[in-house]
Amino acid sequence: MAWRYECGPCRVTTGWLPKDQAAAKRDEHRNTAHPGMIPAVEVFESNAKPITRDPAALRMWAATAAVCLLAWIIQTMR
- Tell me the pLDDT tens digit for each residue of 13-27: 999 999 999 999 999
pTM score: 0.60
Regarding whether 55 and 38 lie in a shared domain, the answer is no
- The share of the chain scoring above pLDDT 90, in percent, equals 67
Question: What does the pLDDT average to over 22-51?
Answer: 89
Spatial distance between the Cα atoms of 31 and 38, rounded to a whole number of angstroms: 9
Domain limits for position 63 = 51-78
Assess whether 42 and 19 both reside in one domain: yes
Question: Do 4 and 42 belong to one domain?
Answer: yes
| φ/ψ of residue 60, rounded to 5 | -65, -45
Q: How many domains does the chain have?
A: 2
| Residue positions counted in the chain | 78
CA distance 50 to 39: 27
